[in-house]
Amino acid sequence: MSSIRRMLGMVVVAGIASPVLAQEAEPFHIRNLNPLAAIFGLPAWDTVSPGNRFETTFEIANHYRLSARGADRLILDGETDRTTLSFAHGFDGGWSLGAELPYYHVSGGFLDNAIDAWHSAFGLPNGGRDLRPEDRLLFEIGRNGSDFFVLDHARSGIGDVQLKFAKAIGDERQFVVEIAAKLATGDATMLSGSGSTDASITLLRSQSLPERKRPAGYYWGVGMVLAGKPDGIGFQSNRWVYTGILGGSWRPWPKFGLKAQLDVHGAFFDTPLKEFGETATLFTFGAWHPFAHNATLDFAIIEDIRVGTAPDFGVQVAATWHW
């Protein structure tokens, strides 16, 4: 219930603020909340605009995976709430500096019953969800018969801070090159951080099409993450991991737009477990609503297109202010 209140609070705050026209070519700031992917410095795919930008994002991700391959095994049963505060300042000449501070709450959550009802209503497989009690937390990861990570009680704490430096380039500044560093400020014992520093470099191409009868836009991006060695994880980690994004938006009404997005990244670990050792693919569908002249509210639903490589179900609400 606290998660619901926090989400509703963001909607109210965004409604009170004096708002903005959203950019059709602005990506959703989606990250894979798979517990062993979220600890790394995946990029948020920012655009660059002059002035200040403040964003608060709240995400809920529901996990349920029981898996064993070779000597490796895992149980992921629970929910991750992530609240992120981010700020960026755009300078003349297309330069931008920014920072993000995430806060995690890991618990048994409250979505299990709703997800079970959804699967039952549409005749979808439940992935063995009836094998464990609802709304319980257990993250258990091991190798060769012993567990190297166990989390079975709710925890909260800050995550790894990310610092970002970006430059818009091209004739119309439609490309953004961004370099980011993730610092080890989180807690590896609750997977709110990796205990190491990561770096990334990305190239984002975005294009709005305002001249259309119903304005639209699209964007794509490619990048690499240089991942540090995480603390307390017994799998061998991969040093270089690719990432990419593809998406578009359409505004059928003056103050309401639809957006769809595909996010992908390589495996962060060398393990036969699909959840951590294969390419992850996420599909996001949602809507955005601009308020007056300087704020925007986004709502998105996130699904794991490649089942198991991302949470079963996720939802995101984000409020953004420009000035």
Q: Residue 19: its pLDDT value, please?
A: 34
Domain count, the chain: 1
Q: How far is CA 289 from CA 156, 252, 317, in A?
A: 31, 11, 11
Q: What is the mean pLDDT of residues 299-318?
A: 93
Residue 280, Ramachandran bin (φ over 0: left; ψ between -120 and 50: alpha; else beta): beta
Q: How far is CA 30 from CA 10, 12, 141, 189, 260, in A?
A: 17, 22, 25, 24, 12
Q: Quickly count: other Cβ atoms within 10 Å of residue 240's Cβ.
A: 9
Greatest CA span in the chain, whole angstroms?
A: 61
Q: How far apart, in whole angstroms, are the C-alpha atoms of residue 145 and residue 158?
A: 31
Task: Tokens for 76, please give them.
Answer: 């992921």
Q: Where are the alpha helices (DSSP H) in 30-175?
A: 112-121
Residue span of the structural domain in which 81 resides: 2-322
Torsion, Cα 227 228 232 238, to 10 degrees, reads: 50
Q: How far apart, in whole angstroms, are the C-alpha atoms of residue 86 and residue 166?
A: 14
Q: How far apart, in whole angstroms, are the C-alpha atoms of residue 57 and residue 83?
A: 6
Instruction: End-to-end CA distance of the chain: give it in Å, rounded.
Output: 33
104-145 pLDDT per residue, tens: 999 998 876 776 666 566 665 566 666 667 778 999 999 999
- Asked if 60 and 81 count as a contact pair (C-beta separation under 8 A), the reply is yes
H or E element at residue 258: strand 256-265
- The whole model's pTM is what? 0.88
138-188 pLDDT per residue, tens: 999 999 999 999 999 999 999 999 999 999 999 888 999 999 999 999 999
Residue 29 belongs to domain with CATH number = 2.40.160.40
